[in-house]
Amino acid sequence: MNQRPITVAICGFGSRGGDAYASYAHYFPEQIKIVAMADPDPEKRAEARREYGVAPEYCFENGDQLLAAPKLADVMIIATMDTQHICYALPALRKGYHLLLEKPISPSLQECLQLREEAHRQNRIVVVCHVLRYTPFYQKIHELLAQNAIGKLQTLEASENVAYWHFAHSFVRGNWRRSDESSPLILQKSCHDMDILRWLAGVRCLRLSSYGSLDWFKEENGPKPGAMRCLDGCPAKDSCPYDCEKIYISSQKTGIRAGHNGWPCNVVAINPTEEKLYKALRSGPYGRCVYHCDNDVADHQTVQMEFEGGITASFTLSAFTENCYRTLRATGSAGELEGNMAENTIHLCLFGQPEQVIKLDSLDDRFAGHGGGDFRMMDSLYHLLQDGGSQALTSIDASVESHVMAMAAEYSRLHKGESVELEQFVRDCL
């Protein structure tokens, strides 16, 4: 067996490419070596040279330049923005790279299917970053359901609690606020949840319907009098939970004064300090009043689903929660289980018997990202390539299904909850 580290080229060296995935090479240099990267931001190219020893001639200004060079690595990590995945993924496959591809694969169903075909044609591995499947929390629930621990599965109930500050940061002021520039919320944020429900159900989703809207983060809900920017003397600032100064400067949970210099502060300013943050908040997008942004994605949404075998599922996403976490409840013919991912605990109740509480091991700090999912996915990629496996847990084939579900849900939401048959939906899109 070849024991050299697998070599990686990273296209898009931002929060995901540069922080979540590149950092794996720091902890596990025997597994992964970063040999090339591309990012238009000179600070990110400098970081790649400094932190990971990437040769200057292999630090490119964009993905086109990286792809114009000969094949430089075993794997390309594609972590550019949502609409810039496919334009790099297709040529990278044709060049012979395996891919670690950020979700969503593409906001276009045709492009998702095109990529799936190309991966098969080129016989390359495509791991889609549905990181939740790799977490101990969902792996344990999957194992219990696959063993019929609660009998025949009947229902699944999932919730995604985004947290008010995270929602304001990413989906009102930030990069994912507009569906035409990135992708609709249900695809961008919840293709993860569609993927988990499909995986736990163990069978295909047949039909679904969805409701939801952008209800709150609109001009008519803003304070009167107010201001276009929090730091421009807004009279409602003290009582507004979305005030940018609270989120990025003074909050115990997220603010720089409490020592939080990673995400989300490092999205507002690179290597953030209080001074740099104030400067960015005075003029940049993250200092805008949440009621006066150009956002259009929904701030709450539900999806109702029917899977093969009569399994039903419901999913609710809300911006309006204090904390950021997911929950899952499953009922079956012989029992039920319930879990909260933030607590990493599952309550299992078999009818007529005492409840069992399954506490999953607390995670090593290095594995903290996405409940351990980020690094476990990287570990799995390494072993897949070293051991010559062909099917990733989050393969392109598996991942296209969740994208179809999310796209159909968005269609339904925009059509007053119309029930959508998924097979027909795919045929109509082609």
Ligand X SMILES: NC(=O)c1ccc[n+]([C@@H]2O[C@H](COP(=O)([O-])OP(=O)(O)OC[C@H]3O[C@@H](n4cnc5c(N)ncnc54)[C@H](O)[C@@H]3O)[C@@H](O)[C@H]2O)c1
Do residues 146 and 320 lie in contact, with contact meaning Cβ atoms separated by under 8 Å? no
Contact between 246 and ligand X by CB under 6 A: the answer reads: no
Q: How large is the greatest C-alpha to C-alpha distance in the chain, in angstroms? A: 68
Minimum CB separation from ligand X for residue 22, in Å? Answer: 11
Helices (H) and strands (E) counted in the chain, each on its own, are 15, 15
CA distances from residue 78 to 20, 21, 52, 209, 282 in whole angstroms, order as listed: 12, 11, 18, 31, 32
- Per CB under 6 A, the list member of 7, 15, 304, 318 interacting with ligand X is 15
Those residues with Cβ within 8 angstroms of residue 219's Cβ, 6 or more apart along the chain or in another chain: 291, 292
* Interface characters, 98-127, with ligand X (x: CB under 6 A): ----xx------------------------
Contact between 372 and ligand X by CB under 6 A: the answer reads: no
Q: Does 272 sit behind a cis peptide bond, omega within 30 degrees of 0 on the bond before it?
A: no
Minimum CB separation from ligand X for residue 404, in Å? Answer: 18
Contact between 23 and ligand X by CB under 6 A: the answer reads: no
- State which residue has the least CB distance to ligand X: 14
Indicate the DSSP class of residue 288: B
Contact between 41 and ligand X by CB under 6 A: the answer reads: yes
List binders of ligand X among 260-289 (CB under 6 A). none
Q: Which is nearer to ligand X, 106 or 344 (CB)?
A: 106
- Per CB under 6 A, the list member of 119, 131, 298, 404 interacting with ligand X is 131
- Per CB under 6 A, the list member of 8, 12, 90, 134 interacting with ligand X is 12
- Per CB under 6 A, the list member of 6, 9, 13, 77 interacting with ligand X is 13
**Angle between helix 191-201 and 396-414 (nearest 10):** 120
**Angle between helix 396-414 and 109-122 (nearest 10):** 170
Segment contacting ligand X (CB under 6 A): 38-46, 222-230, 340-348, 402-410? Answer: 38-46
- Per CB under 6 A, the list member of 27, 33, 51, 81 interacting with ligand X is 81
Bridge pairing between strands 312-318 and 153-161: parallel
Q: How many residues bind ligand X (CB under 6 A)?
A: 26
Q: In what order do the strands lie in the sheet with 312-318?
A: 356-359, 345-350, 335-340, 325-332, 153-161, 312-318, 300-307, 205-213, 420-421
* Interface characters, 184-203, with ligand X (x: CB under 6 A): ----x---------------
Minimum CB separation from ligand X for residue 235, in Å? Answer: 33
Residues that bind ligand X (CB under 6 A): 11-17, 38-41, 44, 62-63, 79-82, 84, 102-103, 129, 131, 175, 188, 370
